[in-house]
Amino acid sequence: MSYKKLIPCIFIADGKAVKWFSDRGILSEDVVGLAKYYSDHGADELIIFDLSESDDEHDRNINLIKRINRAIRIPMIVGGNMKRQEDIKKVLYAGAKRAMLNFSRPESVKLIEDAAKRFGKEKLAVSLNDFDALFKHQHLIQAYCSEIVFMHRLDLNSIMNVTDVPCVIVTDTEEEPELFKILKCPGVKGLSGKYISRQNIDLADFKEKCTAEDIQMTSFESMMEFSQFKTNDQGLIPVIVQHYKTQEVLMLAYMNEESFNCTIKTGKMTYFSRSRQKLWIKGETSGHYQYVKSLTIDCDLDTLLAKVDQIGAACHTGNPTCFFQPLVGTDYDETNPLQVFESVYNTIKDRKENPKEGSYTNYLFDKGIDKILKKVGEEATEVVIAAKNPNPEEVKYELADFLYHAMVLMVEKGIMWEDIVKELADR
């Protein structure tokens, strides 16, 4: 049996979430907040429909989608108002896992082959309103996209006889038996629509109902049972928590069987508090959730390693990590590029906050943004000139100069390396 996903959909018009593509009544004024609610309450993915009718509104919605991407921790599929390859690129660069082409529009049919060759078929989905469109374009869909989003209740068994491309069903039905029937169809990977997209829905509750119907919902699945772990006398196992991108060790906590199973089920790190003798979801009161990326166990089966996406600070003191008090030596790693960049960045930031006489960095800050931009431009030109010469050492020196001046600009504009890394990762 394949795993199924619950995928709320958001229809955006005039910067607001509306109830349906054919009903422009306001569902929520706060689109980003609505998306974050879905992300925090059991959604596995999110479908966003851009209902804009002009290029200006389309660009405003793209910026809104970028903000949504920064606020959620689940993948996005984005469709609507895509007439050119450039529109597909904008959606993907805004953070969408896939761009969705509406095959009821002839221009989308013409776009898909070139788009697949440019961006990869795994970056494309197709939305369909009727079975005839699937039958007519099945060769294109099979060859150039990795997902079908059906905007209609159809004969699902017939669909599966035509294509093996995974399908998401967007339905206006709110009858649970009908929803269970859709999810039980072998070719359906996910369910979306009015019921799944209600404003205050707790999708974890609906997943439990699906499980009771013998529908296997998407979740992490442990390769071992908790009973196989070597726990202490209280039935607890220590968990080392590490940031999945930076590899920084964030904290140490403990799990019992219930908190382990809760972590697996929800995707949020859940621990057992030894002092309070109760379960606690990390971030439940602070908002600093930890979203599971992976769980592994050591060779003795007595310690877990959790790699997580940490929201905010891991430590209750407000520090990014609980391990911030130096005792012996230093943990600075001069071979770690991000640590080196952050060290230089922090030095530049300190110069801005605590000026030092004779400092070139302070000279740049004192002269202001125009001088900083002039130097960034000059150093970029030096990189180009050095690259035309045969000695690669020149490129190394000029790139280092350019990166330094770029970091001065970053500090001036309040941009951190974390922002840059996230932007690159999203792309």
- CATH top-level class of 337-426: mainly alpha
The crossing angle, in degrees rounded to 10, of helices 337-353 and 360-367 is 60
Do residues 268 and 289 lie in contact, with contact meaning Cβ atoms separated by under 8 Å? yes
Cβ 266 vs Cβ 291: under 8 Å? no
Stretch 99-107: mean pLDDT: 89
CB 148 within 8 A of CB 100: no
Residue 374 CB coordination number (10 Å): 13
Q: Supply the pLDDT for residue 124.
A: 95
62: tokens are 């793209």
Of the listed ranges 140-149, 182-191, 199-208, 333-342, the least confidently predicted one is 333-342
Looking at residue 1, its pLDDT comes to: 47
* Contact indicator for 319, 288 with CB cutoff of 8 Å: no
- Top mean-pLDDT range of 107-111, 173-177, 234-238, 331-335: 234-238
Look at residue 159 and tell me whether its pLDDT is greater than 70.
no
Residues 46, 35: contact at Cβ < 8 Å? Answer: yes
How many percent of the chain have pLDDT more than 70?
93
Asked whether the beta carbons of 21 and 210 are under 8 A apart, the reply is: no
Q: How far apart are CA 39 and CA 150, in angstroms?
A: 22
| pLDDT greater at residue 128 or residue 375 | 375
Give the end-to-end CA distance of the chain in Å, rounded to a whole number.
33
Q: Name the nearest CA neighbour of 145 among 107, 189, 105, 115.
A: 115
Report how far residue 387's alpha carbon sits from residue 395's, in angstroms, rounded to the nearest whole number: 6
Mean pLDDT of the region 226-234: 95
Choose among 380, 253, 383, 251: nearest CA to 317. 251
Could you tell me where in the chain the CATH 1.10.287.1080 domains are found? 337-426
DSSP string, 52-101: --SHHHHHHHHHHHHHHHHH-SS-EEEESS--SHHHHHHHHHTT-SEEEE
Number of residues in the chain: 427
Tell me: the pLDDT tens digits for 296-336? Answer: 999 999 999 999 989 888 999 988 899 988 888 766 566 67
In degrees and rounded to multiples of 5, residue 255 shows phi and psi of -125, 145
Q: What percent of the chain has pLDDT over 90?
A: 61
pLDDT for residue 234: 96
pTM: 0.66
For the chain, how long is the longest CA-to-CA vector? 76
- When the pLDDT of each residue in the chain is averaged and rounded to a whole number, the result is 89
Amino acid identity of 27? L
Per-residue pLDDT tens over the stretch 186-207: 888 899 999 999 988 888 889 8
Q: State the number of CA atoms in the 13 A half-sphere of 240 facing the CB.
A: 13
Task: Please state the separation of Cα 179 from the chain's center in Å.
Answer: 27
Distance separating alpha carbons of residues 199 and 207, to the nearest angstrom:
17
Calpha distance 135→424 (Å, rounded): 38
Q: How far apart are CA 145 and CA 67, in angstroms?
A: 26
CA distance readout (Å), 239 to 214, 270, 293: 32, 11, 14
Per-residue pLDDT at 221: 67
Res 337: pLDDT: 79
Section 128-134 average pLDDT: 75
pLDDT band at 387 (very low <50, low <70, confident <90, very high): very high
Q: Can you tell me the distance from the alpha carbon of 421 to that of 415, in angstroms, rounded to the nearest whole number?
A: 11
What DSSP letter does each residue of 336-355 carry, written as one string?
-HHHHHHHHHHHHHHHHHS-
Beta bridge mates, 193: 171
The pLDDT of residue 413 is above 70? yes
With 60 as the cut, is the pLDDT of residue 74 above it?
yes
Q: How does pLDDT run across 20-69, given as a tens digit for each residue?
A: 988 999 999 999 999 999 988 889 999 999 999 898 999 999 999 999 99
DSSP collapsed to 3 states, 134-169: HHHHHHHHHHHCCEEEECCCCCHHHHHHHCCCCEEE
Per mean pLDDT, which of 132-146, 148-162, 207-221, 357-371 is the most reliable? 357-371
Tell me the angle at which helices 360-367 and 369-387 cross, rounded to the nearest 10 degrees. 120
Domain with CATH 3.10.20.810 in the chain: 226-310
Specify the pLDDT at position 329: 72
| CATH 3.40.50.450 assigned to 5-212 | no
86 by Cβ neighbours in 10 Å (0-12 / 13-18 / 19+) ranks as exposed
pLDDT at 233: 96
Fold topology of 226-310: Ubiquitin-like (UB roll) (3.10.20)
Whether residue 358 is predicted with pLDDT greater than 70 in this model: the reply is yes
